[in-house]
Structure 1
Amino acid sequence: MTATGKTRTRTAAGALLVAAMMACTAAAAEPTAKQIFGSQHAAAALPSASYGFYSKGCLAGAAQLPADGPTWQAMRLSRDRRYGHPNTIDFLERLSREAAARGVWPGLLVGDISQARGGPMPSGHASHQIGLDADIWLQPMPARRLTPEAREDFPFRSVLKPGTFQVDDRVWTSNYRDLIRMAAEDPRVQRIFVHPGIKKKLCETTGRERAWLNKVRPYYGHHEHFHVRLFCQPGSPGCTEQRATGSGDGCGDLDWWFDVALQPPKPGGKPAKPKPPMMLADMPNACRQVANAPALFDGSGVVAASMAAPAGALGYAPEVRIPIPTNRPIR
């Protein structure tokens, strides 16, 4: 089967899956948002736009990062999370090229970006829903091209000393700092998440030019990769901005992370109550149309980067519909 046929078959299979979920019985549970968006494997044929917040939204007119570029390799291809706002894809490609050209990093290993139409994922992330988040592994790209199979099993590598919250100097070099700095200094970047131990290392090894550290925020995990988040992009009036990062380098606020947040929970504490699954009705209104829109192809079976229609033009009835529950009000 050709690549075009495989892509169209996978897209049709996603539509059939959602249809099957809806057709089981009248009393069957309504499919969750992660089931609806996780079953789709082609971008929505709508102008490129992000809707909602990073952890509750969707993505129209997505671009797909090629699995291979001269200075990047996409990882975990079976997850099919290489889609993003076209500016996100451009950011990743530019960062990889510039880092290689400056001798900072030979190439990026790129992890999850977003699903074909954004939305909540079946596993792994609460954010990454509107095509403006991307994970970059804290490992230089190997000289060899990894096979698709190898990319599934290629091990993560922490930059922390085993059993500690401190960066391992046997792994860490100034190149790690310089790569994160290059990403932070791109004006499209809103913030970057790293492990608190990495933030501490950056604070200790950065000289007088420290303004970029403001964008680098400590957070749980993120010791095997760093997470880049872009601002809402032009043409996305329905995108909800995250609060500003304020001022200063953020290096004086790390004690709480090490003394409180990263410590094990107290014995006998009550576990957090699980949140109910997100439903389509919980998402921005535009996400219903994003989920229903026909697939966007460029004529070769590859999902096209964006639409030529004016951004935000969502006023048409899709030619091909994926059954979406309508028995709940749209909030």
Structure 2
Amino acid sequence: MFRTLTALAVAATVLAGCGEGRKAPTTTEEDLPRVTGVLSTKSAKALFGAESVGSPQRAASFGSYSRGCVAGAASLPETGPTWQAMRLSRNRNWGHPQLIDFVQDLSRKAAALPGWNGLYVGDMSQPRGGPMNSGHASHQIGLDADIWMLPGSDLTLSRSARENISSISMQRASGAYVNSSWTRAHHELLKAAASDPRVARIFVFPGAKVQMCNDETGDRSWLRKIRPWYGHHYHFHVRLNCPAGATGCVDQTPPPAGDGCADAQAWVNNILNPPPPDPNAPPPKPKRDLVMGDLPAQCASVLAAR
């Protein structure tokens, strides 16, 4: 533990005030993996999962959505006029300030929909981002948020209630279709989210994307950002673009041109008529846990900042 803290202290000296232009005179960011070699094999999820508050640094996302961290994260207040953060024991209601603003803006739009008073907000990021001990491969740089499909009707839920209440599934036939819980309000909520220029893409189960494709009669440009993906029938996953001017943040490749409806229908067709397994396909390789050496060098500074 002493060696780890010492390495983190060195990292903090090297990158003190991350993004504010202050560096040790004889050590560069390129040297950081060398001076913090003791950290390179440390489990990143254990280190980031142990942090309870954000770092006292200027807000910045470092790395990619599935391999990075966030400096200067803010917390979404547990309860607001048009939202409640859920599963508070996880302490995952943190994100880049741009994500906090987006969630609050979307919650106000949700409150104007019939049957909704606001949003139930699921996992965002940990206080300093990074890999999580469970549940997500992404959500690491403070720009991802899960929004529950359950309409936020009661915004006075206690902490205990928020640990025990569950969202509701929208899918039928393993995700090929929506079920009777799906409403036009869900369509309009996802449309509002996808129409926000801060949003890069939204993940939802294939049947929902096809249903929205079938129902939309106006501008269809926003459908491009709605991406079919496994699961995502109890919530939809919003991913923001890297903030403007962010030099250490890596955007995902933009979605292909067009509305993506044919692609979503292909997903549905594969659910209904699965292709036969390939007998020559190699067995999947087990995923290993990320270690600090897998993350951007700045993430050591984010952990060390006090």
1:326 is matched with which residue?
A: none
1:245 aligns with one of 255, 261, 282: 255
Please identify which structure carries the higher helix content: 2
1:191 aligns with one of 178, 183, 201: 201
Distance verdict in 2 for CA 1:197–1:79, change over 3 Å? same
Distance verdict in 2 for CA 1:236–1:282, change over 3 Å? same
2:288 aligns with one of 276, 285, 294: 276
- Give me the whole-angstrom Cα distance separating, in 1, the residues matched to 2:220 and 2:66: 29
- Give me the whole-angstrom Cα distance separating, in 1, the residues matched to 2:252 and 2:304: 27
When normalised by structure 1's length, the TM-score is 0.76
Deviations 1:248-294 (A, max 9, x none): 11001124323436849849876522122111011001111111111
- Give me the whole-angstrom Cα distance separating, in 2, the residues matched to 1:210 and 1:256: 19
AA matched with 1:180: L
- Give me the whole-angstrom Cα distance separating, in 2, the residues matched to 1:265 and 1:114: 38
- Give me the whole-angstrom Cα distance separating, in 2, the residues matched to 1:59 and 1:46: 10
Query: Would you say the 8 A contact 1:105–1:179 is kept in 2?
Result: no
- Give me the whole-angstrom Cα distance separating, in 2, the residues matched to 1:139 and 1:103: 13
Residue aligned with 2:256, SS: coil
Q: What are the residue-to-residue correspondences of 1:256-275 with 2, within 5 Å? A: 256-260=266-270, 263=274, 266=277, 271-275=283-287
Distance verdict in 2 for CA 1:89–1:265, change over 3 Å? farther
Distance verdict in 2 for CA 1:164–1:128, change over 3 Å? closer
Calculate the aligned-residue CA RMSD, in Å. 2.5
Query: Would you say the 8 A contact 2:84–2:155 is kept in 1?
Result: no
AA matched with 1:50: S
Cα deviation for residue 215 of structure 1 reads 0.6
* Ranges in structure 1 where 5+ consecutive residues have no aligned partner: 1-14, 295-331
Cα deviation for residue 164 of structure 1 reads 5.5
Distance verdict in 2 for CA 1:34–1:184, change over 3 Å? same
2:233 aligns with one of 194, 213, 223: 223
2:160 is matched with which residue?
A: 149
User: Which ranges of 4 or more aligned residues in structure 1 deviate by more than 3 Å?
Assistant: 101-105, 259-271
1:293 is matched with which residue?
A: 305
1:254 is matched with which residue?
A: 264
- Give me the whole-angstrom Cα distance separating, in 1, the residues matched to 2:271 and 2:305: 42
- Give me the whole-angstrom Cα distance separating, in 2, the residues matched to 1:32 and 1:201: 41
When normalised by structure 2's length, the TM-score is 0.82
2:67 is matched with which residue?
A: 56
- Give me the whole-angstrom Cα distance separating, in 1, the residues matched to 2:87 and 2:285: 31
- Percent identity reads 49
Distance verdict in 2 for CA 1:144–1:81, change over 3 Å? closer
2:183 is matched with which residue?
A: 173
- Give me the whole-angstrom Cα distance separating, in 2, the residues matched to 1:138 and 1:102: 13
Say how many residue pairs are matched. 271
Query: Would you say the 8 A contact 2:94–2:126 is kept in 1?
Result: yes
- Give me the whole-angstrom Cα distance separating, in 1, the residues matched to 2:276 and 2:57: 46
1:206 is matched with which residue?
A: 216
Q: Greater shift after overlay, 158-167 or 45-54?
A: 158-167
Q: What are the residue-to-residue correspondences of 1:1-331 with 2, within 5 Å? A: 30-101=41-112, 103=114, 105-143=116-154, 145-161=156-172, 165-168=176-179, 170-260=180-270, 263=274, 266=277, 271-294=283-306
AA matched with 2:209: K
Cα deviation for residue 102 of structure 1 reads 5.6
- Give me the whole-angstrom Cα distance separating, in 2, the residues matched to 1:97 and 1:204: 26
- Give me the whole-angstrom Cα distance separating, in 2, the residues matched to 1:288 and 1:133: 21
Distance verdict in 2 for CA 1:106–1:215, change over 3 Å? same
1:9 is matched with which residue?
A: none
* Ranges in structure 2 where 5+ consecutive residues have no aligned partner: 9-37
AA matched with 1:275: K
